[in-house]
Amino acid sequence: MDIKEYYRLKLLPFSNSPDEQFYYRSPEHEKAFFKIMHAIDNKLGLAIVVGDIGTGKTTISRKLLNYLSSNENYEPALLIIIHSEISSEWLVKKIALQLGLEKMPDNKVDIINGISRRLMELNEEGKNVVILIDEANMLKSKEIMEELRGILNIEPENTHLLTFVLFGLKELENSLKLDMPLYERIAVKCTLNPMDFKSTMGYIKYRLKVAGKETPLFDEKAVELIYKYSKGKPRLINILCDNAMLEGFLTKKEIIDEKIVKQVLEDFGMGS
């Protein structure tokens, strides 16, 4: 018997892998989603979502990608930045590929011209082009910021042909300030804060329900401890809840209580 069988679950509820079915509509996340869609639908050019590690930025980026992909009026793409040593040419090529540029020119100027033509084509087709960039705080060069601004400058009749939505840690703003004209183009900014206790409790209950658990699994004292040490950050909530379930399974406890959570906190060196 494994954890899913023991707790009568269809799925493991607290994985940190992005999965839209587990998307919880907390007030913080719904506000950010609405503000970003406002920027996209009104073609405002540049929106940013900033927040601490584990507050749900990646989750929102995937939710947006899935939502936009399901509507033929949008042409979305997602770039994930995995390290800070990328060049402006690499980024421009990736954007061109995501936009469906069929023949990749050899030099950057021709690539940008190709991006411009492709954006014009998509605009004529009635497509609202959106480039989502996750981990954008890893973009640290002035040259990259200048290229982003250059692409944003492709705007016939004062209409942006695409919207960039950048997700990252708070130092993303410092990177954008490397090119002040770009920084001043930020049309919408969302600061993603951790959840409060009420949302944390709702988040845990929701994920368990999606996973197939209809009855309570965590008692209130356990949730209070999880909230205290996770500070309402979804990633930490998932880690603590997942490990509490494992501890409960190993000790054959049908309800996760304060004692089990304390053991998990001790294992992670988080207990007081």
Q: For each of the chain's 272 residues, which pLDDT tens digit applies?
A: 899 999 999 999 999 988 889 999 999 999 999 999 999 999 999 999 999 999 999 999 999 999 999 999 999 999 999 998 899 999 999 999 999 987 888 788 899 999 999 999 999 999 999 999 999 999 999 999 999 999 999 877 778 999 999 999 999 999 999 999 999 999 999 999 999 999 999 999 999 999 999 899 999 999 999 999 999 999 999 999 999 999 999 999 999 999 999 999 999 998 76
74-to-99, 153, 163, 165 alpha-carbon distances in Å: 12, 20, 11, 14
- The answer to whether 111 and 93 are in contact (CB under 8 A) is yes
What Cα–Cα distance (Å) separates residue 175 from each residue in 35, 131, 132, 150, 169? Answer: 22, 18, 17, 16, 11
Query: What pLDDT does 105 receive?
Result: 80
Q: What is the pLDDT of residue 272?
A: 61
Is the domain covering 27-192 a CATH 3.40.50.300 domain? yes
Provide the sign of the torsion angle of the four alpha carbons 83, 88, 90, 93, taken in this order. Answer: positive
Which ranges in the chain are annotated with CATH 1.10.8.60?
Answer: 3-21+196-267
Query: What stretch of H or E contains 200?
Result: helix 197-210
Question: Cα–Cα distance between 223 and 208 in angstroms, integer?
Answer: 13
pLDDT at 158: 76
Class of domain 3-21+196-267: mainly alpha
Q: Which residues of 99-136 are buried (b: 16+ CB within 10 A; e: fewer)?
A: bebeeeeeeeeebbebbbebbeebbeeebbbbbbbbbb
Burial environment of residue 48 by CB neighbours within 10 A (0 to 12, 13 to 18, 19 or more) = buried
Cα 148 to chain centroid, rounded = 20
* Residue burial 58-80, b: 16+ Cβ < 10 Å; e: rest: bbbbbbbbebbeeeeebbbbbbe
Q: Where in the chain is the domain with CATH 3.40.50.300?
A: 27-192
Burial class (CB in 10 A: 0-12, 13-18, 19+), 85: exposed
Please tell me whether the overall predicted TM-score, pTM, comes out greater than 0.95 for this model: no
